[in-house]
């Protein structure tokens, strides 16, 4: 089997070609792994890939370095673990991000399961079109990518909000999924798809108002910091990537693991980071300088990359003041961080373009050689990001 590059989101059945082999993205139901599944995924990454895993910004798990020869055996392992969709269509449509802080009885998992059961009632949607379920005690996914968003409204009830719209449509647990399906059809019927692509936010920005929108969402809260939460303990990894041994060690703790769009992992019901101290590859200190960095794999791991990224980000890390973020992107696509960072460096043929409080696609030249950036100790100050 051969696979083409880009234009869609990879999955397990349809992996993406990268510089170090195929990237297989596993869309975990409820963005969660049981300890058994986590152990199985660690084994599978070692056997069928290069042993490297990563969390995507939609809380999916990526296995890197899979070969065309090993892909079939990997799919068999995923099926055994209950992590393989029936076919490509089912996999492509199951693009559901759920708040990692969902709690039993808050309705989040019911909505996710109801939506999963009705995916075939959705119209054909662009590959990147996704759904967000963010109805827990706090609205934490405001910055996470998603086109149709189930949230809490300011009055405490449920709302369905088109991404980019200020207001959402009040719904109940019973009407939420039928309303979501209707809003997906509204998106298509109102010209949301152009040449196979399109996002809800772009349609709303064209001045087209979604139907029934009357209630503002509850106030958004910023992404959490590492450490103890009511649901468990949050830990992080360098650039969201980790080796299979780390995942195997986390699985051995015996707790379910939830992935987050902040490339952190939440270890359910684990009290504090002390139990993690012997596991290599984890970041548990919320003040760790690497947490200020965002960087995609870059060259030579991505065919689109115009330069290496993580070595530069690493060398610049000492210049990033606490509380600020640096994003180094191998091209204008900005996979590692779709949002704006305080300072964004985007690779081009002449070096890196600098953007202040900008997302990667908005950053334009001039380009500066990486060495010039490395010798500029006032990079943040001079560019107004501090």
Question: Are the beta carbons of 170 and 154 closer than 8 angstroms?
Answer: no
Q: Does 308 bind ligand SF4 (CB under 6 A)?
A: no
**Among 288, 297, 320, which residue's Cα sits nearest to residue 240?**
297
Q: For the chain, how many helices (H) and strands (E)?
A: 10, 20
Q: Which stretch binds ligand SF4 (CB under 6 A): 69-77, 246-254, 268-276, 294-302?
A: 294-302
Q: Does 128 bind ligand SF4 (CB under 6 A)?
A: no
Q: Does 329 bind ligand SF4 (CB under 6 A)?
A: yes
Q: Which stretch binds ligand SF4 (CB under 6 A): 62-70, 183-191, 211-219, 333-341?
A: 333-341
Bridge partners of 242, per DSSP, are: 53
> Cβ neighbours of residue 273 under 8 Å, at least 6 residues apart?
226, 227, 228, 233, 235, 284
Q: Does 298 bind ligand SF4 (CB under 6 A)?
A: yes
- Enter the tokens of residue 340: 């704006």
Minimum separation from the CB atom of position 301 to ligand SF4 (A): 8
* Size of site (CB under 6 A) for ligand SF4: 12
Q: Which stretch binds ligand SF4 (CB under 6 A): 179-187, 253-261, 300-308, 350-358?
A: 300-308
CA dist 75 and 87 (Å) reads: 12
Q: Does 145 bind ligand SF4 (CB under 6 A)?
A: no
Q: Does 334 bind ligand SF4 (CB under 6 A)?
A: yes
CB atoms within 10 A of CB 214: 10
Using CB positions, name the residue nearest to ligand SF4. 330
Q: Does 296 bind ligand SF4 (CB under 6 A)?
A: yes
Location of structure tokens 């060398």: 315
Q: Which position among 313, 331, 340, 363 is part of the footprint of ligand SF4 (CB under 6 A)?
A: 331
- Enter the tokens of residue 229: 């939460």
Q: Does 283 bind ligand SF4 (CB under 6 A)?
A: no
Q: Does 56 bind ligand SF4 (CB under 6 A)?
A: no
DSSP character at residue 346: E
Closer Cβ to ligand SF4, 116 or 304, answer by number? 304
Of residues 160-199, which lie at the interface with ligand SF4 (CB under 6 A)?
none
Q: How many CA atoms lie within 13 A of 353 on its CB side?
A: 19
**Among 123, 174, 117, which residue's Cα sits nearest to residue 147?**
123
Please report, as ranges, the residues that interact with ligand SF4 according to CB under 6 A.
296-298, 302, 304-305, 329-331, 333-335
């Amino acid at each position: 089997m051969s696979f083409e590059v880009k234009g869609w989101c990879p999955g397990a059945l349809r992996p993406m070609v990268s510089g170090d082999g195929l990237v297989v993205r596993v869309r975990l139901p409820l963005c969660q792994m049981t300890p058994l599944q986590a152990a199985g995924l660690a084994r599978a990454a070692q056997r069928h890939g290069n042993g490297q895993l990563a969390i995507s910004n939609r809380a999916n798990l990526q296995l890197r370095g899979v070969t065309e020869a090993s892909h079939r055996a990997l799919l068999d392992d995923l099926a055994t673990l209950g992590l393989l969709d029936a076919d490509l269509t089912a996999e492509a449509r199951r693009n559901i991000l759920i708040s990692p802080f969902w709690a039993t009885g808050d309705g989040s998992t019911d909505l996710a399961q109801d939506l999963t059961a009705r995916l075939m009632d959705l119209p054909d949607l662009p590959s990147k079109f996704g759904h967000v379920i963010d109805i827990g005690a706090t609205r934490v996914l405001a910055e996470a990518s998603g086109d149709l968003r189930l949230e809490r409204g300011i009055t405490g009830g449920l709302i369905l909000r088109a991404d980019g719209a200020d207001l959402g449509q009040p719904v109940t647990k019973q009407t939420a999924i039928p309303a979501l399906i209707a809003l997906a059809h509204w998106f298509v019927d109102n010209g949301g798809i152009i040449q196979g692509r399109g996002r809800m936010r772009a349609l709303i920005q064209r001045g087209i108002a979604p139907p029934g929108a009357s209630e503002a969402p509850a106030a958004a809260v910023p992404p959490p910091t590492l450490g103890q939460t009511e649901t468990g303990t949050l830990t992080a990894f360098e650039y969201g990537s980790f080796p299979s041994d780390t995942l195997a060690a986390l699985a051995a703790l015996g707790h379910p693991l939830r992935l987050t769009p902040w490339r952190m992992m939440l270890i359910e019901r684990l009290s504090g980071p002390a139990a993690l101290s012997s596991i290599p590859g984890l970041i548990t200190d919320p003040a760790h300088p690497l947490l200020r960095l965002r960087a995609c794999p870059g060259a030579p791991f991505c065919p689109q990359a115009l330069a290496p990224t993580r070595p530069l980000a690493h060398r610049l890390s000492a210049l990033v003041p606490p509380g600020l973020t640096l994003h180094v992107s191998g091209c204008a696509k900005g996979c590692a961080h779709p949002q704006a960072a305080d300072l964004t460096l985007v690779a081009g043929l002449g070096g890196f373009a600098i953007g202040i409080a900008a997302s990667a696609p908005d950053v334009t030249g001039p380009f500066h050689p990486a060495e010039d950036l490395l010798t500029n100790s006032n990079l943040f100050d001079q560019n107004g990001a501090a």
